[in-house]
Amino acid sequence: MDVRSNYSRLSAMQQTGDNDQVWQEFYTEDIVRRISGLDPLVGRDACRRQVQDFLDGLKAPQTIEQLTLAFDDENKVSVIEYDQSFSHKTHGDITQRITMVQRWREDQIYDETIYVMRRDHD
């Protein structure tokens, strides 16, 4: 399957809120996830816990505005850019731009780099 199709399936499943199923189906067990400013995480369970901890700390639904999508089927890469705003119990009110670079192998993400650019909250 091409990267765009896999990303579309992943995105649709994320909309259902079934976070565990998303991780099981679309991420390799040995995924490496890098988020700017943080130590890399290795392993599906560590990454899933990090995301769930973030979601559990939200004080209200986050807003996400997708800006750019790019796919490279030859190199099995997807790039997603979006603006995100949220209010979090630990981090406060945050507005930021996110760029995600996902590398795919056998229809699953095995490497994900997330660049976070914080912006002043209006």
Query: In the chain, where are the structural domains located?
Result: 3-119
Q: What does DSSP assign to residue 23?
A: H
Q: Among the listed ranges 13-17, 28-32, 45-49, which one has the minimum average pLDDT value?
A: 13-17
Alpha-carbon distances, residue 59 vs 17, 34, 46, 82, 118 (angstroms): 17, 25, 23, 20, 19
Q: How confident is the model at residue 119 (pLDDT cuts 50, 70, 90)?
A: confident
**17: DSSP letter:** T
DSSP 39: -
- For residue 84, the model assigns a pLDDT of 95
Confidence at residue 121, expressed as pLDDT on a 0 to 100 scale? 52
Tell me yes or no: is domain 3-119 CATH 3.10.450.50.
yes
* pLDDT surpasses 70 at 120: no
Say what the pTM is.
0.90
Position 14 scores a pLDDT of 87
